[in-house]
Amino acid sequence: MKIAVDGYEVHTPTGGVGRITASLVSVLAALDPVLEIVLFVRRPTGLVFPPSVKEQVLSPDKGYIRWQNLPLRRALRALRPDILLAPNYTLPFLYGGPALLFEHDISFVSHPEWYSRRDVLKTRCLVPHSLKRAAAVLTESEFSRQEILDHFPFVGEDKIRVLYPGLENRFRRQGQEAISGWKAQKGLQGKTVIGFLGSIFNRRHIPELVAAVRLIRKTDEEVCLYLVGRDRTSPSQDIAGLTAADWIRWEEGLGDEDLPLFYSACDVFAYLSDYEGFGLPPLEALACGTVPVVLDRTSLSEVYTGMAVMADQAEPGVIRDSLETALGDETKRAALLAAFEERRHRYSWKKAGEELLQIIRQAVGAGRL
Domain ranges, ordered by start, for the chain: 2-166+348-365, 176-346
Q: Find the helix or strand (DSSP H, E) in which 135 lies.
A: none
What pLDDT, in 10s, does the model give residues 48-98? 999 999 999 998 778 999 999 999 999 999 999 999 999 999 999 999 888
Q: Length of the chain in residues, anyone?
A: 369
* CA triple 350-282-340, angle to 5 deg: 65
Answer whether 336's CB lies under 8 Å from 306's CB: yes
Answer whether 276's CB lies under 8 Å from 140's CB: no
User: pLDDT class for 366, splitting at 50, 70, 90?
Assistant: low
Residue 259 CA to residue 254 CA, distance in Å, equals 7
User: What's the rounded mean pLDDT across residues 260-275?
Assistant: 98
Residue 366, SS3 per DSSP? coil
How many Cβ atoms sit within 10 Å of the Cβ of residue 305?
12
Topology match between the domains 2-166+348-365 and 176-346: yes
Task: Return the CATH class of domain 2-166+348-365.
Answer: alpha beta
What pLDDT, in 10s, does the model give residues 170-187? 999 999 999 999 999 999
What pLDDT, in 10s, does the model give residues 22-44? 999 999 999 999 999 999 999 99
Most confident of 17-26, 111-120, 204-213: 204-213
User: What's the rounded mean pLDDT across residues 97-118?
Assistant: 89
Per CATH, the number for 176-346 is 3.40.50.2000
Among 74, 87, 105, which residue's Cα sits nearest to residue 28?
87
